[in-house]
Amino acid sequence: MDGIKHRKVAVNGINMHIAEKGEGPVVLFLHGFPELWYSWRHQILALSDRGYHCVAPDLRGYGQTDAPASIESYTSFHIVDDLVALIHSLQVEKVFLVGHDWGAIIAWYLCMLHPEMVKAYVCLSVPFLRRNPTVPTVDAMRALYGDNYYICRFQKPGEMEAEMAAAGTKYVLQNILTTRKPGPPILPPGEFVFNPDMKDTLPSWLTDEDLDYFVSNFERTGFTGSLNYYRNFNRNWELEAPYSGVKIKVPVRFITGELDMVYTSLGLKEYIHDGRFKEDVPNLEHIIIQTGVAHFNTMETPEDVTNHIYTFITKFDFHSI
């Protein structure tokens, strides 16, 4: 679409598909679940026209990027290594980083492990997740919301894949992408209902063509690769132990919708606003809460998200990347 180019890059033992457009400083976009590079289509077009080299991969296990078979191949540390290799392949030392949902989590890990590679980070939806030194991540979520909390339900290999297959790929993606229900998503066993208020018609920001692009990709790949990210939450918690208490020093702007299911769960709204987020991320410069906006804000409010990215990254030396 509109001059976006596609190619495969060999990174960290896999072949990664990237979409890219433009010349100039690199802006690296990291998508979430259940998404693809395509979630950034609006930002790629707008920012490439403003003098940036926009790069959006399908992350490991998604879309046209390879999907290793083992669950253990999907830790955040594996995916960070994919991105380090990708950045090296672009022949730059630093990038502007933009991440949403799982892409935001991976971006926090990249900022933690390789801060020298990140000029600034625009984070959407998922703030820095402070490590609990005594309780693994999924155990803490189960204690808070029970066994039917969606992340807990995603843990058993094959179980959620079977429910998604029974519901149908198009239904699953439409059900998740159009949800506007705040608070913790609860998925009782049986019929897949992430969004109980799903309408037959799509919202104005998601066309039939858009949905078809997601559906065609996930029909080909299935959901196992994307679900394996969730199945590594506790393994990530173990691997992260040496970094417990670390401060993220890169400059950060945070953007989320007031209806976002993450913002309204897990005590994160309080964490974001009571000073703890700023304590963990000392160079957090702005917190932007979008009125009336839900989780998939890169697509729901593309111009607003693009403008927030642009006004933040242009504060930094344009020619030093």
Active site residue 295: yes
Strands in 247-320 per DSSP E: 252-257, 284-290
Catalytic residue among 31, 53, 295, 308: 295
Give the phi and the psi of residue 240 in degrees, each rounded to 5.
Answer: -80, -5
Catalytic residue among 52, 149, 229, 230: 230
CA distance 163 to 158: 9
Active site residue 42: no
- Please classify residue 139 by burial: count the beta carbons closer than 10 Å to its beta carbon, then call 0-12 exposed, 13-18 middle and 19+ buried: middle
Q: Which amino acid is at 262?
A: V
CA distance 128 to 108: 6
Catalytic residue among 82, 101, 260, 280: 101
Q: Quick check: 68 and 91 in contact, CB under 8 A? A: no
CA distance 9 to 15: 6
Cβ–Cβ contacts within 10 Å for residue 92, how many?
Answer: 16
CA distance 300 to 39: 10
CA distance 269 to 277: 10
Q: Where in the sequence numbering do the catalytic residues fall?
A: 101, 230, 295
